[in-house]
Amino acid sequence: MRTGWFAALTALALLATPLATGTALAADDGVYRLGEVVVSGEQEGVEAIGTTHKVTAKEIETRGVRTLDEAIDMLPGVQVRTAADGAPRIDMRGFRTRHVKLLLNGTPFNGTNDGQFDPSLISVENIAEITVTTGGGSELYGSGGNAGIINIVTKKGTKGANGSMGVELSEVDATLLRATSSYGTEKYDVFVSGSYYERDAYRMSNHYGEELNEDGDERENSDRDRKNFFANFGYQPTDATLLGMTFSYLKGERGKPPITLEGYNSKKGTGDVFAKTIKYQRQEDEEFNVQLAASHNFAGPLSVKGWAYFNRLDVDEEEFEDDTYSTLKNGKSVYSETEISGANLQLSYDTQNSGRATLGLMVENDDYESEGDDGVEIDNGDFQLYSASLEYEVSPMDKLGVVLGAGAHLQDRESDNEEDFSYLVGLTYDLSEGTRLKASHARKVRFPTIRDLYDTDDGKVNEDLKAETTWHYEAGIEQVLPAKTLLSVTGFYIDIEDYIEKVNDVRQNFDEYEFYGVEVGAENRYFDRLFLRVSYTYMSTEDKSDDTERDELQNRPEHKVTLESTCSLPWGLTAYAGAQYMTDNYYYSVDGNEEQDKLSDIFLVDFKLNKAAANGAIDLYVGVDNVFDEDYEQSYGFPLAGRTFYGGATWKF
């Protein structure tokens, strides 16, 4: 199989080589701009009032990351957490993955069933930049995204014919093959990419001691394979009009490593009261997405931009009797289909002197159905989402920027409808040269998912389930310091009502949560060959629900520190080192007594060394993840990979 995929990727990379004629697009940066949902005018606008991080293709290459979760795990306010499901989850400022809105070129990628996504299925060879907005973001994103927004903007074809081919090998027989190809003329551009990843397992730390369900060395049931294909086509018939189409396909299969401890048995009162019952599970995913996009600038201040999209996700989940993974448990196999289709239209009126107003209209249909191994339907459901948003950006006086936004949202369910609203108010003020103050307040709403509405034992709809409501308050300062240093400090407070949780097999609105904290970041470029970045996140979480006995919410570390350094060395060498430290991460017993304990502190260091050859056409690299072979967990009873060495080469043409 590896040989076949390598041949396919080689053919893909060489596809554009015979087409090396034509005129390049002027000032083409290789970024698919039709994938940007929020585009400000001359003023920085909505992205300046809140907390927005951008991860570029260059940073992705320097760090040697392979998937979306690895690309953003060093950002302040972001926690990548792997637990019982075996897939990394991206949490933001205390919220869970289902509260994060994931977009690919502006179109949704979240699962309809539970609102989650697997970031380790999203490879990075086609990514131009990732915009991560934590807290209250633009109203143009519509409903959802109470935690924040991740918008992946892909690459596009550039001048002439370009491409790359790469291979990476790492421990435990893991192989990564990837290739890209692009071609651009004055009016047309095309970009194609693909990758194949396979590993037999991940290796445990040498410090790991044997447990009931894990003897160390290679982690039980931790194999994974992933295939990705992406294509992007652009056409510019006039200077004022852009047309585009993107297509993506992914397919993956993986094991879900079981808990290593003896799970608590409520009937017998035996086992570890903090450990869940052991499960032996495997999962297959297949997803494809197609999108049409267009933009046009009319003569004058008016412009229009829109998308139409369709996304389908098929998931096959299997649970087995034991660790032989040969006999299904009670015939338990669930196959589910998710479909998301919709359209998004934006009309923008930019007067420059008097500000920029943008009207956004969105309509979306979400379908879900699942069946068992015997073909009998288990669940099904659908709903429609409608949003109308208006956002206004203006600079009423020198040094002051203001953003005002409001949105009306409707979820049309089979047996009930729910209407709600959102809004955003923010400003920036340049106090002096090198000093910027910012503040914002937003109200966000997230409607129930299909699992929330229909996943009950009696099959009845949770007709009274309300949308989750979140109030965000944020203020910060950005300060330029001597020695080419940039410092940012941001404080945030979040109040959540009608949080959806599962009680007695039915999901209900009953929780009230409160999150607050501070994020500090600094970058230094004093030395031409050295770049330093450090960040610190403090976050306090509190359960304010009635009759609760929990002081802090579980699996939300209070402190996170990251440090990154990139150094250009002689002889074409580049060294990267990254470290992160997390502490005060609490969890609770599963026996209902709310007994609290704390995970061990986590200290991880990664290192990578690149060597450019053939005038930069070839990049050779070696690296090691988890340099000090840390034995660590992000969720109780689920240890993660120890020290892992890897190496590879990339050819660019």
Instruction: Give the residue-averaged pLDDT of 19-38.
Output: 63
DSSP 264: -
Domain containing residue 88: 2-206+216-480
555 occurs within a structural domain: no
Contact 445, 469 (CB under 8 A): yes
Instruction: Give the residue-averaged pLDDT of 441-451.
Output: 91
**In degrees rounded to 5, what are phi and psi of residue 68?**
-60, -45
In 412-435, which positions are buried (b, 16+ CB within 10 angstroms) versus exposed (e)? ebeeeebebebebbbbbeeeeeee
Helix (H) or strand (E) holding 453: helix 450-454
Integer Cα distance of 470 and 540 in angstroms: 16
Distances (CA, A) of 561 to 100, 516, 520, 603, 642: 22, 17, 9, 9, 20
Percent of the chain with pLDDT over 90: 71
Is the pLDDT reported for residue 456 higher than 70? no
The DSSP string of 316-345 is: EEEEESSTT--SEEEEEEEEEEEEEEEEEE
Which of 150, 166, 138, 170 shows the shortest CA–CA distance to 90?
150
Instruction: Give the residue-averaged pLDDT of 18-37.
Output: 60
pLDDT for 13 equals 41
Residue 110, token pair as written in the block: 């979240």
Instruction: Give the residue-averaged pLDDT of 145-154.
Output: 94
514 occurs within a structural domain: no
Instruction: Give the residue-averaged pLDDT of 372-393.
Output: 87
pLDDT for 629 equals 97
Helix (H) or strand (E) holding 95: none
pLDDT for 44 equals 65
| Band (162; pLDDT cuts 50, 70, 90) | very high
Helix (H) or strand (E) holding 63: helix 57-63
Q: Residues 262-289: pLDDT tens digits?
A: 999 888 888 999 998 999 999 999 999 9
pLDDT for 503 equals 60
Instruction: Give the residue-averaged pLDDT of 94-104.
Output: 92
58 occurs within a structural domain: yes
| Band (340; pLDDT cuts 50, 70, 90) | very high
265 occurs within a structural domain: yes
The DSSP string of 542-599 is: EE--TT---SS-TT--SEEEEEEEEEEETTTEEEEEEEEEEE--EEE-SSSS--EEEP
194 occurs within a structural domain: yes
594 occurs within a structural domain: no
Contact 220, 214 (CB under 8 A): yes
236 occurs within a structural domain: yes
Range from 39-53, 341-355, 577-591 carrying the lowest mean pLDDT = 39-53
Q: Which residue has the higher pLDDT, 546 or 436?
A: 436
Distances (CA, A) of 558 to 230, 341, 364, 594, 601: 38, 38, 37, 19, 11
The residue whose two tokens read 């596009």 is 156
pTM above 0.85, yes or no: yes
Percent of the chain with pLDDT over 70: 92
339 occurs within a structural domain: yes
Distance of CA 650 to the CA centre of its chain: 25
Integer Cα distance of 461 and 448 in angstroms: 11
3-state SS class at 601: coil
| Band (454; pLDDT cuts 50, 70, 90) | confident
| Band (19; pLDDT cuts 50, 70, 90) | very low
Number of domains comprising the chain: 1
Total H helices, total E strands in the chain = 5, 31
Instruction: Give the residue-averaged pLDDT of 611-624.
Output: 94
Is the pLDDT reported for residue 40 higher than 70? no
Q: Residues 69-91: pLDDT tens digits?
A: 999 999 999 999 998 889 999 99
Please report how many Cα atoms fall inside a 13 Å half-sphere around the Cα of residue 583, on the Cβ side: 7
Is the pLDDT reported for residue 359 higher than 80? yes
pLDDT for 458 equals 44
Is the pLDDT reported for residue 42 higher than 60? no
Q: Which amino acid is at 621?
A: Y
Integer Cα distance of 131 and 115 in angstroms: 19
| Three-state secondary structure string covering 341-368 | EEEEEEEEEECCCCCEEEEEEEEEEEEE
Integer Cα distance of 32 and 190 in angstroms: 11
Q: Residues 553-606: pLDDT tens digits?
A: 889 999 999 999 999 998 889 999 999 999 999 999 988 788 999 999 999 999
Q: Residues 491-525: pLDDT tens digits?
A: 999 999 988 876 655 677 877 899 999 999 999 99
Cα torsion 527, 533, 534, 535 to 10°: value is 150
Count of CB atoms situated within 10 Å of the CB of 571: 6
Contact 129, 57 (CB under 8 A): yes
pLDDT for 330 equals 80
Distances (CA, A) of 560 to 73, 74, 75, 584, 601: 11, 9, 10, 9, 10
pLDDT for 268 equals 84
Q: What is the CATH number of the domain that holds 144?
A: 2.40.170
pLDDT for 10 equals 42
Is the pLDDT reported for residue 27 higher than 70? no
pLDDT for 56 equals 94
Instruction: Give the residue-averaged pLDDT of 542-556.
Output: 82
pLDDT for 504 equals 54
Q: What is the mean pLDDT of the chain?
A: 89
Cα torsion 127, 165, 567, 488 to 10°: value is 0
pLDDT for 460 equals 54
